[in-house]
Chain A
């Protein structure tokens, strides 16, 4: 919460537009254009957390993917440390990607079931050719311990872990490359509330230690309140409101944001 306004912007998106064409009509012969991102601009300050909040279909996951150049977009630009990612050649883009990592919602779906944890976490180091084999191995072991797993877990397979442990593996995989920006797409939505608390605290601690900047995609406004410094509220591909989390929660300006905040379960009773 102690972010000064003068902090440098590490990741910035300007006027992103992304349209999907969707089959329509009962037999899918027709086609309609859906604007998943409609002129979206965001700025992530170094060392802080920017939450992207919205309901299903709001475009928040599309935004995450476009930021990391995993989806092509129609127009607009994404700047990482001032560099336009779309203008980079393949080699420079790969170098930039070391600093742009992602943590997914369902860790079981995003971890290769046939690879050992050590291989999964170490794969990025291998691809980017960072350090000798021994160094890579040590790095993987350190990272596993840092996220609360054991060195011996490197020899196990994803199915041998619980949901919370798998999310720790997903975090280790993303952070072993010492990235600058981590996009977390609903990282705690599939977890029990006690595990959710563990993972949120782990993400916060790692952010401090490694000076990470997070884009935090979530539909859960209670979680966002705890982890984010700033937020954007999305609805139907558009940003309807953005600002500091404390300001928006205490005085939402837009009707849609007010509706979202009023719908938080347990708010009326509290």
Chain B
């Protein structure tokens, strides 16, 4: 293509736009794993190309090869038709390829501008930062990345921090931006903002690689889609407009994913958990729960919807005894459980699937056996006369390994070597095997691949059938609406409203109503306005 050609006028790249990235026959082998098996990938100028695949499908490996973090065992990479061989991400950035990782690499105590300039040779001395502030402001204006250049990074929300990461790449003149699961940390409104930015970027002739395992987003944003499965390309550069979600899902997991869960109608039983006017503070000592009330019956899944950070974590911690509350009560079958201890909850049949699998839910260097007996080591058969019965513990662990399909060579393996999905299975196996009366599940499917999510959903539904009361706290609206019998919406520590879910016939306006509540409109007000609109 001649260099004189003007920037692509149309927002969507045409099929004859020049290729900016070509990867041919990329092979990358790790001990015991073929992470990339002769992968081909190409990116045109001005397009958003989604890279879709389950966890461990080889998406991140492929991008790490492209950005110079890994060197491929074989295969060639061409950038703007010139073969390249990067030995570090720095080389890649120089060639115009930048990646925004899932975990941000920012200095919290420095300003946005300082973070963006970090590592650059210009300026040598940080004296005249305001002119750079203006530059950064211009750049953020151009791409719709609203962020104050003078703000310190620690003051920013996660979504704003992500914008800083994107700005960092744009400031370095990136033509190809790789975004690794960018929406995992964002609220729904922020996702829309990100999509706008990405569209603005491709309109200027830049290209975006969008890594995700969320079908909905991929079909919403991408021009073309490449699907990886177990290190191999199962669909290369499909035009997004021409594929269905079902087909993509099939290529991703190799079988049809059930979108409609097999949820049997079930009459809810007695109230198991009753939360009344609960107040609690967060880690910073600020009010996180402000008089929250809800109830969960046996044989019922109650969804708690809300944008992260509105008190969900604190609620789960108060119920499970990990946090003190400052007012109100939580009753389990009529007995007060708040301000007791975690042990009290465990002994009274409260199971807890914590939000943070690695830092709270498991002990990484201990074996699978040690991790599954975490709540059973006090009583026979695991404990006898103060000693552990190792054969009994091993037998128990092996039973769980079989029953819950935990893939490990043996139960002596430390759990830090397990994948996310397997680790979650270990936690679920442990919590469900205690035959809980109440299960508090916080983000049980976050970061899992489609197959693993399906497994978790089935386990939760089977718990519902066996009569457990389940409080499901999640940010995945789709998940909440398909699993729950009722959904409460939390906003700034209060319940905005409660909606019943009819499994057979979901009411059409439901998502909008829940969305409005998630952004702070109480249900009563929505109904009033709705009524007013009809009059």
Q: Do A and B bind each other?
A: no
Mark A residues whose CB is within 8 Å of B. none
